[in-house]
């Protein structure tokens, strides 16, 4: 007998016809949920006795459900058994680590395992070997204590949250349907986004509605959620995507594509990698690798209309299937990503009114983006042009940040209302929206305040004649 994966079989035995003839090939299929449950049910007493825990039928079924939903690179029943083992070990360790010698050794074992993994990542194999030997010694002591009967204590019941925590730690993906404590954050999402992004209340309302379903665990598809932000330049499309990511995922969870870099068909290699035999095949540098390492993130496709049709077709496949294969044959899943695209198609400085802009925009989008792609986007969110009051509010927010920055260095800055009105006109907001505000503030405020500081002033007044 010889056991192989399908890939190993194709690379070795299948190539040698003479050897292949001498074996009877038997394909072992992945078991279904009922079969997995039967396996876990038979293993349950072993893990319960070893870790001194109790796990009910409902939690066994939850392990199968969550492992199927969140773990892609492993097969059943291996991944369910792995989760069962880890959750039993975690609950046992947390419960008894401070109350017994056994708990002390288990805590030390956890630290040794973490150190060993760090040394392996750093390719320091000498120290990793030392940690491996220490691991064996600790495991031996744990086994001796357990054999002496040091585990005569009440069994700890495994809860749903314990399973959700283990799955989240293993996959780096929050398990919303169990860890529903995030509901309190949703109450602040709308208010926070409105404070950060001025003048786009309707767009924020549309975004929050869909987000509530995702965060509370009602996402019932393995395809990524997708939005298309459409509106004039400088109205806050990219800003909203950044603030949305920061609030729900964290700043480091934004994977940004500048689609102007993907204007030709060959640029697709920047995403999926180079084909075998071409330069860059072995370096592993591509956007899919970044996405694979961040299975729970926001993907921002900035100015989607500038990408080549080949690149657009790639994202069409991602939206349709929720996964894609890179140049090396590795499958990258997008089940728990959110894809946000931005576009200013159909919005020009000579457009008359928001209603007319939107009415023209659907046909303009269909001309630039394929109908197939538009049909697979969950929500098209329209952004309106910013008016003078919106620009004033945005500028005042940024000026408060400027004042706070100088106040930290004991410099008081006062800015007159007439100066603010003058700067609003300098932004040319009818053409550029809010895009020029930061530049105008730097030119009109920062430079003047810095010159005043160099003159020895600690209190600076900026007026219209400054």
For residue 412, what pLDDT is reported? 92
Compute CA 110 distance to the chain's CA centroid, rounded to the nearest angstrom. 27
Taking only the tens place, the pLDDT of each residue in 340-356 is 999 988 765 544 444 44
Could you give the count of Cα atoms lying within 13 Å of 257 in the half-sphere of its Cβ?
A: 29
pLDDT of 101 higher than 50: yes
For residue 182, what pLDDT is reported? 55
DSSP-assigned beta bridge partners for residue 390: none
Residue 82 class from Cβ within 10 Å (0-12 exposed, 13-18 middle, 19+ buried)? middle
pLDDT of 368 higher than 90: no
- Report the alpha-carbon angle 267-243-424, nearest 5: 100
Between the alpha carbon of residue 38 and those of residues 33, 80, 131, 193, the distances in Å are 9, 12, 37, 48
pLDDT of 184 higher than 70: no
Residue 135 class from Cβ within 10 Å (0-12 exposed, 13-18 middle, 19+ buried)? middle
Two tokens at 141?
């002591």
Two tokens at 351?
């457009």
DSSP-assigned beta bridge partners for residue 156: 53
For residue 83, what pLDDT is reported? 94
Taking only the tens place, the pLDDT of each residue in 383-432 is 988 999 999 999 999 999 999 999 998 999 999 989 999 999 999 998 88
For residue 399, what pLDDT is reported? 93
- Cβ contacts of residue 48 below 8 Å, gap of 6+? 54, 55, 88, 155
Dist. CA 451–CA 466, nearest whole Å: 11
pLDDT band, residue 46 (cuts 50/70/90)? very high
pLDDT band, residue 307 (cuts 50/70/90)? very high
Report strand pairing: 323-325 vs 331-333: antiparallel
For residue 280, what pLDDT is reported? 56
Lowest mean pLDDT among 58-62, 285-289, 313-317, 422-426: 285-289
Taking only the tens place, the pLDDT of each residue in 196-216 is 999 899 889 888 887 877 766
Task: Look up the pTM and report it.
Answer: 0.75
Dist. CA 415–CA 421, nearest whole Å: 11
Taking only the tens place, the pLDDT of each residue in 246-275 is 888 888 889 999 999 999 988 898 898 877
């Amino acid at each position: 007998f010889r056991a192989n994966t399908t890939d190993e079989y194709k690379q070795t035995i299948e190539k040698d016809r003479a050897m292949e003839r001498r074996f009877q090939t038997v394909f072992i299929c992945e078991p279904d949920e009922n079969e997995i449950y039967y396996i876990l049910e038979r293993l349950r007493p072993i893990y319960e006795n070893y870790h001194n825990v109790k796990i009910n039928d409902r939690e066994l079924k939850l392990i199968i459900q969550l492992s199927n939903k969140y773990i892609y690179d492993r097969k059943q029943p291996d991944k369910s058994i792995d989760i069962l083992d880890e959750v039993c070990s975690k609950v046992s360790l947390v419960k008894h680590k401070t109350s017994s010698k056994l708990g002390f050794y288990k805590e030390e074992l956890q630290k040794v395992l973490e150190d060993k993994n760090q040394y392996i990542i750093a390719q320091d194999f000498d120290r990793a070997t030392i940690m491996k030997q220490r691991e064996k010694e600790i495991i031996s002591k744990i086994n001796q204590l357990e054999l002496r009967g040091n585990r005569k204590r009440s069994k700890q019941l495994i809860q749903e949250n314990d399973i959700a925590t283990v799955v989240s730690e293993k996959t780096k993906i929050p398990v919303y349907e169990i860890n529903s404590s995030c509901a309190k954050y949703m109450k602040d999402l709308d208010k926070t986004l409105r404070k950060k992004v001025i003048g786009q209340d309707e767009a924020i309302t549309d975004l929050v509605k869909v987000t509530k379903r995702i965060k509370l665990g009602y996402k019932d598809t393995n395809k990524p959620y997708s939005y298309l932000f459409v509106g004039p330049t400088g109205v806050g499309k990219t800003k909203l995507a950044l603030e949305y990511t920061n609030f729900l995922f964290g700043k480091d969870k934004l994977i940004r594509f500048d689609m102007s870099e993907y204007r030709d068909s060959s640029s697709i290699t920047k995403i999926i990698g180079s084909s075998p035999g071409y330069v860059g095949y072995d370096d592993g540098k591509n956007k899919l690798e970044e996405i694979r390492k961040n299975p729970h993130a926001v993907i921002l496709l900035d100015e989607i209309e500038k990408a080549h049709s080949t690149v657009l077709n790639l994202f069409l496949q991602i939206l349709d299937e929720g996964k894609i294969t890179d140049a090396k044959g590795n499958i990258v899943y997008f089940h728990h990503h959110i894809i946000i695209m931005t576009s200013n198609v159909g919005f020009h400085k000579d457009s008359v009114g928001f209603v007319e802009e939107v009415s023209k925009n659907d046909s303009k989008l269909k001309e630039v983006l394929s109908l197939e792609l538009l049909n697979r986007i969950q929500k098209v969110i329209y952004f309106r042009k910013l008016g003078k009051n919106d620009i004033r509010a945005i500028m005042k927010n940024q000026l408060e940040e400027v004042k706070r920055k100088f106040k930290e260095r004991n410099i008081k800055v006062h800015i007159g209302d007439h100066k603010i009105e003058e700067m609003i006109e300098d932004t040319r907001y009818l053409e550029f929206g809010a895009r020029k505000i930061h530049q105008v503030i730097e030119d009109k405020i920062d430079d003047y305040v810095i010159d005043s500081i160099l003159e020895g002033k600690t209190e600076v007044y900026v007026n219209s004649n400054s």
